[in-house]
Amino acid sequence: MSQKRRFTKVQAAGNDFILFDCLQEPELPWSSLAPRLCDRHRGIGSDGLLIVLPSVGADFRMRMFNPDGTEDFCGNGLRCVARYLHATGLHRQSELILETIQGARQLRFLLGDGTPGIEANMGVPRWDAAAIPARGPADPLVGVPLEVAGVPFVLTSLSTGTAHTVLFREELPDDALFLSVSPALETHEWFPERTSVLWCQAEVYGRLRLRIWERGVGETLACGSGVCAAAAAAVRHGLAGKERVEVFCPGGAFQVRWEGSEQWLRGPAEIVFEGSLS
């Protein structure tokens, strides 16, 4: 970089991002910068980059890049951008429309005492193989058996803006199982653009607990689109209802509910610190 650029570190239940405000600044080659900036030992360290830009058809535009440089959709990123825009005074209305790689997404600020909560419209879960994309033996991939790293599983795959595969288990995996199966399933031939892997324990009806492996990232403390995917899979398998699903990630708790066919995600989003890099 030829000049200093300001950034803001944000996080949602431990899912952390480096946010760049490009409303008045030019974009940079984010795909090539992401691996270096997201490196937790040699860079700033994060689960991805968030870029805030002007938009013609929405209030603002959001781009998100994984640590491997791939551009993606991000539910936690939506709420982190909303938190930044509200905290900086760039947007003070009770509703916000963000343009994303998956189209426009509506957000609502839930006013109350102190910092308002944020709820994001995550759209309609997609089960068709073309949307994921997937090329397995069934369409949709719901309750389909597959052996991964020598271990048999029954998986359910869908897209909530990005590809997710849910593995329902009586208990969450230990490190050995998690670290051997998750990357192998992420890159399995059934998923030409890879898939995130959600290990899901249904504790009681309507309450889930996750351990998360995100494509292009690795293990993360939370994933907004993954929370929505797990909730949708739980409803499909009769483990929850659409009125409210509570989902607990290692980094924090989320709530998912439906308005018609669309999912709404509620969860934390905070500004951590500001800095500059050259």
Is 249 in the active site?
Answer: no
Catalytic entry in 38, 74, 200, 228: 74
Would you tell me how many other CB atoms lie within 10 Å of the CB of residue 103? 12
Is 228 in the active site?
Answer: no
What is the DSSP pairing of strand 95-100 with strand 103-110? antiparallel
Distances (CA, A) of 84 to 138, 212, 238, 250: 42, 25, 37, 23
Rounded Cα distance between 44 and 17, Å, is 10
Give 229: exposed, middle or buried? Use CB within 10 Å, 0-12, 13-18, 19+: buried
Catalytic entry in 38, 80, 200, 223: 223
Q: The tokens of 263 are what?
A: 């999912």
Rounded Cα distance between 85 and 103, Å, is 19
By annotation, the residues acting in catalysis are: 74, 223
